[in-house]
């Protein structure tokens, strides 16, 4: 049986390039802004022992003091740094791979803990302030006779009843087509209530003519329940921003792609498709990408017979994990490692990982 990994890994390309251009190790001081960034990302703490307050230094993971790339720099305390310098003897050297693992893990921990400390005024737990804010904003909107703003405001605070009351009122009074779509699809989540001609007019206006906008079209498509085309438009809009040098706009819409959970929407669609096709492998991979651990475990165990009969070591590895069968897990990992073959496409020179398993048809 032969499986080809679905993600070809171009091995060695970067390494070879670097070796070709690198003759002598010359120490180049790390520019101040980069050093500041590295220290901030690591919270000025050693990424290996994570101790606070120890003297630290910035370490070049590949031992090349001229390679001042962010991804090559790790904050280490002097003790841990010494461990990277062991040559011979019985001490266990802290090698580049290990430092990289520690560093990536620590950086993500620091980032997570910063995120959880962030305070957002909009989500303020201060109920009194919240109430005062909503009441005064609603008053202003009422004075202006802005029913759309009122509906948005009530949507924001989760008052569905008042939201829907003002949506009906606004639509009865007459609103532009794009606003109609916004109220029904974006606020109410009911694109099915939008008359077909209204939806198609909005789509056309955002596609061609002076009001055409990739990112506005993306929002509209997403509201209308089409995440696949929405993402395509978002990416086209982001590309346009990058090409015209508008990095803020590119970052802004990229943030929106993640905030609106488009990635999850894509995986949900994939999940439905793979389930319909009865494709267990991709169903499992999709559940994994969704981080649905319980669902993953249930699916794997429900397909026990199918997995055992398939002889597929990757599936058996999942089964062992789901069963918490440590021996089985170790066994399949070894099997996979043994079968792993590094191959190079003779025409393109691109390397990838393939698997060559002994046939299992007993």
Site of interaction with Zn ion (CB under 5 A): 46, 48-49, 77, 80
Distance of CA 176 to the CA centre of its chain: 36
Pick between residue 80 and residue 222 the one whose CB is nearest to Zn ion: 80
Pick between residue 81 and residue 220 the one whose CB is nearest to Zn ion: 81
Distance CA 198, CA 160 (A): 24
Pick between residue 57 and residue 344 the one whose CB is nearest to Zn ion: 57
Pick between residue 46 and residue 284 the one whose CB is nearest to Zn ion: 46
Pick between residue 106 and residue 314 the one whose CB is nearest to Zn ion: 106
CB of 83 to Zn ion, least distance (A): 8
CB of 117 to Zn ion, least distance (A): 24
145: CB partners within 8 A, 6+ apart: none
Please give the structure tokens belonging to residue 120. 């957002």
CB of 99 to Zn ion, least distance (A): 11
Please give the structure tokens belonging to residue 331. 């066994």
CB of 88 to Zn ion, least distance (A): 22
CB of 192 to Zn ion, least distance (A): 58
Pick between residue 47 and residue 280 the one whose CB is nearest to Zn ion: 47
179: CB partners within 8 A, 6+ apart: 148, 170
CB of 80 to Zn ion, least distance (A): 3
Give me the helix-helix angle, 214-223 and 227-243, nearest 10°.
Answer: 160
| CA 105 vs CA 9, 108, 109, 267: distances in Å | 22, 5, 6, 25
Pick between residue 48 and residue 271 the one whose CB is nearest to Zn ion: 48
CB of 76 to Zn ion, least distance (A): 6
Distance CA 362, CA 114 (A): 55
Alpha-helical (H) ranges within the chain are 13-21, 32-41, 78-84, 96-117, 127-144, 147-156, 160-173, 177-181, 196-207, 214-223, 227-243, 247-259, 262-277, 280-290, 293-302, 304-310, 313-323, 326-339
CB of 90 to Zn ion, least distance (A): 20
| CA 215 vs CA 60, 177, 253: distances in Å | 41, 18, 8
Among all chains, which residue has been given the structure tokens 């929002």?
A: 219
Pick between residue 81 and residue 219 the one whose CB is nearest to Zn ion: 81
């Amino acid at each position: 049986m032969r499986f080809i990994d679905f993600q070809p890994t171009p091995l060695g390309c970067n390494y070879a390039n670097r070796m070709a251009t690198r003759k002598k190790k010359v120490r180049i001081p790390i520019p101040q802004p980069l050093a500041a960034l590295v220290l901030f990302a690591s919270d000025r703490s050693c990424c290996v022992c994570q101790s606070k307050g120890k003297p630290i230094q910035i370490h070049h993971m590949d031992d090349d003091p001229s390679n001042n790339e962010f991804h090559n720099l790790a904050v280490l305390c002097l003790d841990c740094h010494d461990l990277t310098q062991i040559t011979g003897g019985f001490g266990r050297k802290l090698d580049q791979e290990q430092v990289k693992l520690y560093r990536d893990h620590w950086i993500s921990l620091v980032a997570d803990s910063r995120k959880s400390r962030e305070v957002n005024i909009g989500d303020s737990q201060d109920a009194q302030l919240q109430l005062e804010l909503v009441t005064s904003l609603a008053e202003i909107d009422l004075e202006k006779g802005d029913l759309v703003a009122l509906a948005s405001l009530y949507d924001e605070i989760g008052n569905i009843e008042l939201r829907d009351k003002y949506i009906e009122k606004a639509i009865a009074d007459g609103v532009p087509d794009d606003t109609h779509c916004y109220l029904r699809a974006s606020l109410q989540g009911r694109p099915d209530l939008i008359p077909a001609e209204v939806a198609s007019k909005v789509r056309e206006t955002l596609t061609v003519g002076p009001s055409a906008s990739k990112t506005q079209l993306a929002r509209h498509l997403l509201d209308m329940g089409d995440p696949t085309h929405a993402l395509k438009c978002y990416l086209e809009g982001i590309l346009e921003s990058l090409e015209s040098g508008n990095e803020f706009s590119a970052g802004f819409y990229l943030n929106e792609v993640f905030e609106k959970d488009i990635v999850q929407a894509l995986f949900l669609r994939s999940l439905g498709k793979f389930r319909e096709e009865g494709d267990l492998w991709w169903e499992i991979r999709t559940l994994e990408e969704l981080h649905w651990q319980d669902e993953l475990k249930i699916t794997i165990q429900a397909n026990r017979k199918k997995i055992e009969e398939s002889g597929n070591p990757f599936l058996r590895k999942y089964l062992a994990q789901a069963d918490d069968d440590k021996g089985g897990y170790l066994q399949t990992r070894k099997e996979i490692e043994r079968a792993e073959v590094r191959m190079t496409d003779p025409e393109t020179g691109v390397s990838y990982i393939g698997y060559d398993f002994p046939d299992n048809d007993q």
